[in-house]
Chains A and B, each alone.
Chain A
Amino acid sequence: MPNSALQVARTGLEAQDTRMRVIANNLANVGTTAFKRDRANFATLAYQNLRVAGQQSSSETDYATGLNLGTGVAVQSTSRIATQGTLNNTGNALDLALDGDGYFQVELPGGQTAYTRAGNFTRSAEGELVTVQGYKVMPGITVPEDATAITVAPDGTVSATTAGSGTPTELGQIHIASFANPAGLQAMSDNFLLETGASGAAQLGTAGEAGRGNIRQGMLEASNVNVVEELVDMIECQRAYEINSKMISAVDEMLRNANQTL
């Protein structure tokens, strides 16, 4: 029993430490294209019922109060806050931003599909539309070598004008994926998200329809991290950590005092 207060305070320190890590990651990604900030969710750990109110204290009397002690706190989950980031004009024809919900589809080297909102695409040596990492944006769109201008319509239709021809030719259409529970997508490196059992299967559709966002050409979505908000959270987290560490030193002093006095 004597150590329990120390252990409970320790769970507080650990939870604040994890939260600080989430905040640090948000701040580190303040300049990452289309990054969505995470929020750490705390939950109480189980309670120990040492005595239930109403339990008999003798053959004739009952305890008027119970004794159920909490065992602390834990960061139960982190949730991605999916609010729209601001759209910044870049002027680059292959920079695409989503104005609304949805994700671009990207084929990873192993053939697996990943989803992203970061639309800083480029053209590969073969003329294909690829991400910065060189992964193909699905469905594959090949831009002819002699293309002079590429336009991407808000609904995802990609067309190109070639040298010597005045009329643009349609190259294909970028489809936007949506999910039943986008918060359930699993984040991986390089701005990519993966489908999970919790997110539900991807539903492909035209940009601008059924709640999917429009595609804005020549723009990039900025991260939705609000530096001021994160700094306030950081201070709050730091103070909470301090108070929990004070609790540890208080209990430690109690035990030391008992050791010395007795």
Chain B
Amino acid sequence: MDRLIYTAVSGMADSMIRQRAIASNLANAQTIGFRAETFESAPVTIKGQALEARAMVTTGVLGADMSAGAIIETGNPLDVAINGEALLTVQAMDGTEAYTRRGDFSISASGALVNGDGRPVMGSGGPITVPLDTDVSIGPDGSVLVRERENPELPPQAVDKLKLVSPQGSPVAKGTDGLFRVRGGGVLPVDEAAQVQSGALEQSNVNATQILVEMVEAQRLFDMRTKLISTAREIDEGGANLMRI
């Protein structure tokens, strides 16, 4: 059988992987602060004595599309959307720092500030905790303001500040938990100028129209590659028929 089918099969597998990544982006079109995956297919040429006429294809995830999602007003004082490209710092399962754009915060029974993913939010000196029975709000610079309910006439006091970091210059990669980390380890520097908008949430940056186009593209490409295999069979059958004469 001609080697063509192996090339075509690698293309079919690539289309399937691509379709799966598209499906995942699509499924997360309404996940708060979600960053869509970007991917790319590349030819893999086997170096050797043979003619380099055919190349296998391999798909890779290039990283995440870090463009901003739409910001919608929620009116909830504990919701924050980040202006610009700064990232929020949260504590991952293993206790290390990881980054996210997800800013739908709530306060746990022990007073810890956690985001909608249940991850403790980091401040200037570790996870942020607020005194219980207080009204908590978040200032434009990310400071966590607390007003005692007992003394509503007192101005809100800053108890901590969200650790907003700048991803500029350090490539970040999405981990298996969906949180960003610096590629190769390390932490991002604090972005002093970062601004947040409270009472609003940043939506997923998945563009549904673009996704639909990508989906159809992947589907058609798969069909074309399927066709290649059937063509390969026809060629092969033709050759076998010739031999018979």
Determine if A2 and B16 form an interchain contact, defined as CB atoms under 8 angstroms apart: yes
Chain B: interface secondary structure?
A: mixed
A198 to B152, CA, bound (A): 25
CB of B200 closer than 8 Å to a CB of A: no
Contact code string A198-209 (vs B, CB < 8 Å = 1, else 0): 111001000001
Binds B, one of A28-36, A107-115, A163-171, A249-257: A249-257
Q: Which residues of A contact B107 (CB under 8 A)?
A: 180-181
Point out which of B13, B15, B20 has the most chain A C-beta atoms below 10 A from its C-beta. Answer: B20
CB of B222 closer than 8 Å to a CB of A: yes
* B-side interface residues, number (CB < 8 Å): 67
Which residues 191-230 in B have Cβ within 8 Å of A in the complex? 208, 211-212, 215-216, 218-219, 222-223, 226-227, 229-230
* A-side interface residues, number (CB < 8 Å): 67
CB of B7 closer than 8 Å to a CB of A: no
Q: Which residues of B contact A71 (CB under 8 A)?
A: 24
Determine if B229 and A262 form an interchain contact, defined as CB atoms under 8 angstroms apart: yes
Contact code string B130-152 (vs A, CB < 8 Å = 1, else 0): 00110100000000000001101
Q: Which residues of A contact B227 (CB under 8 A)?
A: 261
A226 to B174, CA, bound (A): 37
Q: Which residues of A contact B216 (CB under 8 A)?
A: 250
A5 to B132, CA, bound (A): 45
Determine if B16 and A51 form an interchain contact, defined as CB atoms under 8 angstroms apart: no
Q: Which residues of B contact A243 (CB under 8 A)?
A: 26, 29, 208, 211-212
Q: Which residues of B contact A253 (CB under 8 A)?
A: 219
Determine if B109 and A198 form an interchain contact, defined as CB atoms under 8 angstroms apart: yes
User: Which chain A residue lies CB-closest to B107?
Assistant: A181
Partner of B176, one of A2, A48, A183, A197: A48
Determine if B61 and A68 form an interchain contact, defined as CB atoms under 8 angstroms apart: yes
A132 to B85, CA, bound (A): 53
Which residues 41-81 in A have Cβ within 8 Å of B in the complex? 41-44, 46-49, 51, 53-54, 63-73, 76-77, 79, 81
Determine if A64 and B30 form an interchain contact, defined as CB atoms under 8 angstroms apart: no
User: Which chain B residue lies CB-closest to A247?
Assistant: B23
A142 to B87, CA, bound (A): 57
Q: Which residues of B contact A257 (CB under 8 A)?
A: 222-223, 226
Determine if B15 and A254 form an interchain contact, defined as CB atoms under 8 angstroms apart: yes
Determine if A11 and B27 form an interchain contact, defined as CB atoms under 8 angstroms apart: yes
Contact code string A9-44 (vs B, CB < 8 Å = 1, else 0): 101100100010000000000000000000001111
Q: How far is the CB of A12 from chain B (nearest CB, A)?
A: 3
Q: How far is the CB of A233 from chain B (nearest CB, A)?
A: 10
Which residues 15-44 in B have Cβ within 8 Å of A in the complex? 15-17, 19-32, 34, 37, 39-40, 42
Which residues 150-167 in A have Cβ within 8 Å of B in the complex? none
User: Which chain A residue lies CB-closest to B222?
Assistant: A254
Determine if A47 and B178 form an interchain contact, defined as CB atoms under 8 angstroms apart: yes
Q: Which residues of B contact A184 (CB under 8 A)?
A: 108-109
Contact code string B117-133 (vs A, CB < 8 Å = 1, else 0): 11000000000000011
User: Which chain A residue lies CB-closest to B34?
Assistant: A44
CB of A178 closer than 8 Å to a CB of B: yes
Task: Spell out B's residues near A (CB within 8 Å).
Answer: 12-13, 15-17, 19-32, 34, 37, 39-40, 42, 59-63, 75-76, 104, 106-109, 111, 116-118, 132-133, 135, 149-150, 152, 173-178, 183-184, 208, 211-212, 215-216, 218-219, 222-223, 226-227, 229-230
In the A-B complex, list the 9 residue pairs whose CB atoms are closest, starting with the nearest. Answer: A65-B60, A211-B149, A12-B27, A70-B24, A8-B23, A5-B20, A73-B27, A42-B31, A180-B132
Task: Spell out A's residues near B (CB within 8 Å).
Answer: 1-2, 4-6, 8-9, 11-12, 15, 19, 41-44, 46-49, 51, 53-54, 63-73, 76-77, 79, 81, 83, 178, 180-181, 183-184, 197-200, 203, 209-212, 236, 239-240, 243-244, 246-247, 250-251, 253-254, 257-258, 261-262
Q: Give 5 A-B pairs besides A63-B60, A68-B174, A247-B22 with Cβ atoms closer than 8 angstroms.
A: A76-B116, A197-B109, A250-B219, A254-B16, A257-B226
